[in-house]
Amino acid sequence: MGSIKVLLRAKKLKDGTQPLIIQITKDRKRSILHLGYSLKKESWDAKNQRVKSNHPNSARLNNFIAAKLAEVMNAALELESVPEKVSPQTVKEKIKPNGGTSFFSQAENYLKELKATGKYNQYTADKPRLRHFRKFLKDRDIFFSEITESLLHRFTQELRTNPAIRETRKLKDGSIVPPKESISERSVMNHLVTIRSIFAHAARSGVVDKRNSPFGTDKVSIKLPQSLKIGLNAEDVAALEAVELEQPYHHARNLWLFSFYLAGMRVSDVFRLKWTDIQNGRLYYAMGKNAKAGSLKLPEKATAILQQYESMKEANDDYIFPELKGVTLSTLSDRFNLQRTIAFQTSRIDKFLNEVVRERAGIDAGKKLTMHIARHTFGNLSGDSIPIQMLQKLYRHSSVTTTIGYQANFVHKDADEALEAVLTGKLKK
């Protein structure tokens, strides 16, 4: 098997410390594995390959070294059983993960993976959350073994009480927007979800054992608060249909109504629709979120909206609506750019809807009007009048459980009647 030793590299760093390494030697060939720590020579017991007790973190470092040494030896023994000749570099490659063993080195790989697979929304949400965690740690890297339950509890408390660890935003005009004094509990939990995702990524890379994660039963639990889903009523929809609007507000209203007419079709799917998706008065498309395919007969009102865009058609496979014209999908990076374009265009349309269209239509200022509200509005108006299995098909949910949970936000009849019965004394005997 050759020899495996823990030692300090001869070359000193700027602070006078020397990097701690594992040296693998076989057949007079050597390979080294950096452990991510450095020590001063007087703190290292070279004979016993241990950190001396005069170092403040000697116990923790010695435990870490022992675990890493055992991992290298196990890998070497496992490779010895392979018929092919094994080099020290092969042992190193089996142990050393891509990108390093620290939390933020793995976080960087995780973000690169999100970007490469086109997950723009998750990338843009997780990146600032990781910056907040690093700011909480006073801009230092950290090893996975150091991320304990107590550390995560302190982090969540800092998020709730200390705006300074969150970020200021710089607007296009150069002005600075300070962080809000308070942060929602959902946002706090989403920070933990991001950290848990890095643990899962590192476990897949062989950096950590998932059993050592601080998340799970009897550990740090992540409980996302239920968000309140409120849709418009029938009178509001009628007002949107009737109001006279000029461009670009007329187009924004068209997109909202088209989504509503198709059971609250997600805005990303509305933007992606092509003329080839329409055949014999039916719309055929696969939902972008879960690739669930299906077909719906186009309602007359939706067809009337489509007719307004026929003059813009340049080819049969052209996008119906203008938001994605010119965007291609020939490479993986294009998928990221596509998601970025969708996010930008959605924000633009939502601004038109909420700041202008809502007021022009006379919809109450306390109600929000965005593209996503079209989906909530369909749920609100359908209530419990449509069988849940049919709603599952309309919403394109993969599981009926998801549909039941979603629609529960809009079914109030039983609770209303129960409350009324108690207050009026009309309880059934």
Mapped onto helix, strand or coil, the DSSP state of residue 341 is: helix
Under the banding of pLDDT at 50, 70 and 90, the label for residue 271 is: very high
The predicted-structure confidence for 135-152, as pLDDT tens digits, reads as follows: 999 998 888 888 999 999
For residue 83, the model assigns a pLDDT of 47
pTM of the model: 0.65
Model confidence at 404: pLDDT above 80: no
Q: Report whether 395 contacts 403 (CB < 8 A).
A: yes
Domains and CATH numbers, the chain: 3-95 (no CATH), 103-212 (no CATH), 234-382 (1.10.443.10)
Locate 267 and state its tokens: 């805005």
> What pLDDT is recorded for position 108?
93
pLDDT at 344: 93
Query: Which amino acid belongs to residue 70?
Result: A
pLDDT, tens only, 11-52 = 888 888 888 888 888 777 777 777 878 889 999 999 999 999
Nearest to 297 by CA among 260, 261, 255: 261
**Which pLDDT value is given to residue 193?**
95
Mean model confidence pLDDT for the chain: 81
Instruction: Give me 136's structure tokens.
Output: 């909480």
Least confident among 1-5, 211-215, 346-350, 405-409: 405-409
Q: Is the pLDDT of residue 352 over 90?
A: yes
What is the Cα–Cα distance from 249 to 251, expressed in whole angstroms? Answer: 5
pLDDT of residue 423: 60
Mean pLDDT value of segment 319-327? 87
Instruction: Provide DSSP, 175-191.
Output: -EEPPPS---HHHHHHH
pLDDT at 358: 94
